[in-house]
A and B are shown apart, each in its own frame.
Chain A
Amino acid sequence: MRYVCFLSLVLTFVSAVVADEQELHSFAEINAFIEDATPRSASFELTGKVLSTSPLPETREIILSDSSGERLQLFRLLKLSQPQPGDTIMAFGIANISKNHEPYICMNDFKVIEHGPAPEPLAIRLSEMNASAHHLALVRTEGVVIDTFPDEIDRRYMILLLKDKKVVVPVSIARDAFCDRSDLVDATIRVTGIYRRTVSSVRKFAWPNITPRSPEDIEVITPPPKDPFSAPPIEKRLYLTSEEIAQMSKRSVVGEVLATWAGDRAMLRTEDGQIVNIKLAHGEALPRCGETVVAAGQPETDLFRINLTAARWKTAADAPRAKTEESAASVSTAFWDNNGLKSINGQIHGALLRVRGIVRTLPATDNTNDLRFTLDTGDMSFSVDVTSNPEIIDTLQIGCTVQVIGRCILLTDDGRQNYGSAKIKGIALIARSPADVVVLNRPSWWTMTRLTVVISLLLAALVGVYIWNRVLQNLVNRRGRELYREQVAHAVAEFKTDERTRLAVELHDSLSQALSGVACHMAVGAEAFDTDPKTARHYLATARKMLNSCRTELRQCLFDLRSDTLEEQDFSTAIRKTLGQLETSASIAIRFNVPRQRLKDTTAHAILAIVRELTGNAIRHGNATEVKIAGCIEPGRILFSVKDNGCGFDPEKCDGPIQGHFGLEGIRNRLEKLDGTFTIDSTPGDGTKATISIPLPSSQRQENS
């Protein structure tokens, strides 16, 4: 029992799985499959009779029908041979619904069950055909070919428009098979073919059409008349319904061409003033405005007037002579006041109107069959068609003021949407020639926005320039100040570095003067040599002493220079160095708290010389064994003292000029140069203290503080 249950479960499962792969066996099943447009596929196996195959073998299409009258469109594999209409076949294949809900029935194989005669087409009037009942049916019908043109979607086919009463159905013939049958225009033909509702994969929603299979399927019943313009003239009767009009056969009209537009439209005015719009058949050229032509085509109506469609024309043999000078009426005649609302005056159709306005739009595309621009009069906008005169567009700019003289056409809908309530949608003007559009005024380049933009740009530029100017100026000033400061500092610095040079100059100067002094003495001595040898001796001795002093000074200087005494950062060390020259055993204590940087070279040298002289005096003449040297800085001056424990001396007596530049006189001399003061405190037996003060000049104070 359990096994049975299990088995049935498995079977159900398997069948469910397998059941995904349906097998369709009848037309009803397949049609239901197609109706339910969910994307899926199923295999099929069908039996049916071949109604028709495609006129072009590469299309691989087969129309099958079954005994109940259901029909199906299949596509056979290329490798398969083509079955013949009338054959009963068994077809195998896959029915597929794509993701886009498009059905595609593919026949992978077929078996001819029996051959049969060609199927009998259904004889039916065009007006009786409808897509739901007769889709894919083989029909035979009759009608008049009113126009022929190539199929834009599939260039392999040509369309013949077949009209019977008011119904027009396109007949699609394969050009390779049928050749160009434009000779059939205006002929009455009988055609046998498949009536279907879809044509190609591009057009998803299409007009139904009839596809005959071969040229034999088209039979000419009545050939086209020799004169295509021999149709009767348009009815003058009014108040015909659109049905009645549609049932009318070809009609003709003679009139003057008032306007042409849209590439295939023309407006004719008959001798008695009737305005007829014409839509030309494919391939017909547009007539010229002003020409009188005779046109013939299929009548139709927009409930306002009778128009001709699929029309052809030729110049009228006998054109009426005198053309009345037509003057353009003002556009206001196109409207009348309806309790404050403007209504369009229907009489305006075909009239010549003069409108002045501003061009608001120009054609956006290059579609040469639809060149229109919009004219704005302030109250309203008009469309102006210049398709027949495309050069007008080149003269126009948006914003121009133009005056247009144009044929007025009423834009209407034909009421089919509104069940007979046709409406005037508006009026359009058609320019007949380039002279109809006159540019009165070109728009000024300057619009408010442009003006404000330009002005603000200029202002911004001005401000920018001004700011830039100021910035540059500041930069230049700053740089200038920097530069000159640099220059001045450089000049001063250059000079300051010559401080050492100055010292050297001073020393040389001093030496030079001393030598001059020596020279003077020697000159006098030489003079007195013969006459007064005693005086001469005296002067020469003095000269010699002076020279000795010079040499001593020189020696000291050279020592200081060689031992870098002046470079010494610690002035106490400098003093000690220079006193080392004295070669004495006396003890010398030095406490000089003056930073070297605060002294100019000349001051430093002077201090060294003074200290040297005083110490030398103390040791040589005072027999001192201890010398104390102390120095410090006070606001505005340097104060230092040299104290010894020697035997002291009488300051008055030691002023020996023999010592020349040196000695106390020399010290005084140096100090005078430096604006300094010098005091000596000495008592015989009690040592000596010399105090010196040298002022610090303000510039030194400044630079060093």
Chain B
Amino acid sequence: MNKTRILIADDHMLMRMGISALVTSTKDMEIVGEAKNGRQAVELANSLKPNVIIMDLMMPEMLGSEATKAIHDAHPEIKIVILTTFGTSVELAKAVTNGAVGILLKDKVDMDLVNTIRFVVEGNQVIPTRLLEQIEQDKALSNLTDRQLEVLASVAQGQSNSDIAKQFGLSEITIKKHLSAIFERLGVANRSEAVALALRKQMLKT
């Protein structure tokens, strides 16, 4: 019987060691590779073609959500399970949108890892229901376009509409339109609320 091939992508060594220990102790799974960042994860996924990837969200060089998209687009058959400290974040929602089929909390990794892997191999989705609602909410948040994120970042720096317009070479009216779209998407009433929300949800790189 073929063992399930697992690729671990996590930047924290002790976590990798822990997962590795768990997987190795089973009879039906094996570790085929360890990636320390998102770029490595994509490379190893391409070369090793594992069955399941345990993907951490916050990794240098490429975020887990982006790596998920890249891998899922290229190899939709690979099941990607997200490893996360918190159950709610924009990145988590993004990853789920990009094709992740399971969510694993780091707190519960020793208890849930093996079962989660087995479930997703069978084709199930392992996403806790309460997370689903919040993911839906956060999906809306994550739907800001890159341009909109840039505009929002400029707003967070305290620039006025005319400054932002100059910066992007657009007219002030366009900027205003962007902003109203952003406010609507985020469900906020004004600039400061938008900035506060974005910072809180770590949507901006400061």
Residues of A within 8 A of B (CB): 481, 484-485, 487-492, 494-495, 509-510, 512-514, 516-524, 527-528, 535, 539, 542, 546, 549, 657, 660-661, 665-666, 669, 672-673, 675, 699
Contact = CB atoms under 8 A, between A and B. Distances in A.
A523 B111 contact: yes
Contact of A516 (B60, B107, B192): B107
B9 to A, nearest CB: 13
Given A524-B22, A539-B21, A699-B206, A517 B14 contact: yes
Given A516-B109, A528-B25, A673-B60, A521 B18 contact: yes
B166 interface: no
Contacts of A666: 13
B15 interface: yes
Given A516-B14, A661-B14, 15 more contacts: A484-B191, A487-B191, A488-B195, A492-B158, A513-B15, A514-B12, A514-B14, A516-B15, A517-B18, A518-B18, A521-B21, A523-B111, A546-B14, A661-B13, A672-B60
Contact of B14 (A535, A539, A660): A660
27 contacts: A487-B190, A488-B192, A491-B196, A492-B156, A492-B195, A495-B200, A510-B12, A512-B85, A513-B15, A513-B106, A517-B16, A517-B17, A518-B18, A520-B19, A520-B21, A521-B17, A524-B21, A524-B24, A527-B25, A539-B21, A542-B17, A549-B14, A657-B17, A669-B12, A672-B36, A672-B37, A675-B60
A599 B137 CA distance: 35
B176 to A, nearest CB: 14
B12 A524 contact: no
A516 B110 CA distance: 7
A203 to B, nearest CB: 90
Contacts of B173: none
Interface string B1-30: 000000000011111111101101100000
Interface in B152-167: 155-158, 160
Nearest to A673: B60
B192 A520 contact: no
A513 B12 contact: yes
A489 B197 CA distance: 14
Contacts of B113: 520
Interface of B: 11-19, 21-22, 24-25, 36-37, 60-61, 85, 106-107, 109-111, 113, 155-158, 160, 190-192, 195-196, 199-200, 206
A17 to B, nearest CB: 103
B154 to A, nearest CB: 11
A484 B190 contact: yes
A677 to B, nearest CB: 13
Q: Which of A485, A514, A516: most chain B Cβ within 10 A?
A: A516
Contacts, number: 115
Contacts of A527: 25
B22 A523 contact: yes
A520 B160 contact: no
Nearest to B198: A491
A488 B107 CA distance: 35
A555 B19 CA distance: 26
Given A672-B60, A673-B60, A520 B110 contact: yes
Given A484-B191, A487-B192, A492-B195, A509 B109 contact: no
Contacts of A488: 155-156, 158, 191-192, 195
Contacts of B11: 669, 672-673
B21 A669 contact: no
A512 B106 contact: yes
Contacts of A494: 196
Contacts of B17: 517, 520-521, 542, 546, 657, 660
A669 B13 contact: yes
A55 B110 CA distance: 146
B22 A484 contact: no
B192 A491 contact: yes
Contacts of A546: 14, 17
Contacts of A660: 13-14, 17
A673 B10 CA distance: 12
A660 B192 CA distance: 43
A523 B13 contact: no
Nearest to B109: A516
Contacts of B196: 491, 494-495
Contacts of A492: 156-158, 195, 199, 206
A672 to B, nearest CB: 5
A591 B51 CA distance: 52
Contacts of B195: 488, 491-492
Contacts of A517: 12, 14-18
A509 B85 contact: yes
Nearest to B37: A672
B85 A489 contact: no
A654 B155 CA distance: 48
B110 to A, nearest CB: 4
Given A485-B158, A488-B155, A495-B206, A518 B14 contact: yes
A3 B171 CA distance: 126
A522 B206 CA distance: 38
